[in-house]
Amino acid sequence: MSKGRNRDWGNEGETPLELSHLRRETRTALELAVTALAPFDVIDRLAAAAGLFEAIRELPPNSPPVVALVPRLMKRANSAVQEWQRWYRVHLAKVKA
């Protein structure tokens, strides 16, 4: 096991801390997207990722569902947060103009 990593969290070596940070970032992005009236697709992708984070939160980190879901969930959440950030930058630029 590499230093500071818990390999039970999935194939890509996500740590519980990395998951926790991304879970919070996803939830915050979802709240901001809702209040900013972002397009439904942006909100929906964030909501799906946030919901999966909540669903696996209570399960043991090495349980089969967590091990199976975490790698794709990390990708999905990162992609959804990046999509929100892109939309926000474009939207903010329009508001400033």
Within-domain flag for 6: no
**Domain range spanning residue 57?**
12-96
Is 5 inside a domain boundary? Answer: no
What is the pTM assigned to this prediction? 0.82
Percent of the chain with pLDDT over 90: 72
Residue 82 forms part of a structural domain: yes
The token pair at 7 is 């390999």
Is residue 74 assigned to a domain? yes
Contact by Cβ (8 Å): 23, 50: yes
Q: How many domains does the chain have?
A: 1
- CB-based contacts of 18: which residues, under 8 Å, 6+ apart? 74
Write the pLDDT tens digit of every residue in 63-78: 999 999 999 999 999 9
Mean pLDDT, range 37-58, rounded to an integer: 96
DSSP per residue over 2-69, as a string? -TT--GGG-TT---HHHHHHHHHHHHHHHHHHHHTT--HHHHHHHHHHHHHHHHHHTS-TTSHHHHHH
Does 61 or 39 have the greater pLDDT score?
39
